Amino acid sequence: MLMAWGVWKITLLDKAAVKSLNRLFPAVEAEAIVMAIPMPGHPVSTQEDDGVLEDCRHLQDLIASHDAIILLTDTRESRWLPSLFCANANKL
């Protein structure tokens, strides 16, 4: 549906979805990014601290550089932080 509306550049935080999308619509410009999104109630170990902070910075940059953000994560907890970043950046 997004392609029908003229959306041809998409960033997904899911490698498998990008492969499927490229197979269905070869002209789409889809990028896959893999990152960990911290969730409330799920502790982060000290070994993961730097990686999680970098992923949070990267997520903020992605949100800032896109016109619209669609959160299709599995749980409410996983949508919490991206929702805060979107609200802070005044994004749809």
For the chain, give every domain's residue range.
1-34, 37-92
Mean pLDDT (whole number) for 49-62: 88
Residues 25-34: what's their mean pLDDT? 90
Q: What is the model's pTM?
A: 0.79
The more confidently predicted of residues 47 and 11 is: 11
Q: What is the mean pLDDT of residues 62-83?
A: 89
Please give the sequence-ordered ranges of beta strands (E in DSSP) within 5-86, or none if there are none: 9-12, 29-32
Q: Please calculate the CA angle 88-7-19 and round it to the nearest 5 degrees.
A: 95
Mean pLDDT computed over every residue of the chain = 88
Nearest to 34 by CA among 55, 19, 48: 55
Percent of the chain with pLDDT over 70: 98
- Model confidence at 82: pLDDT above 90: yes
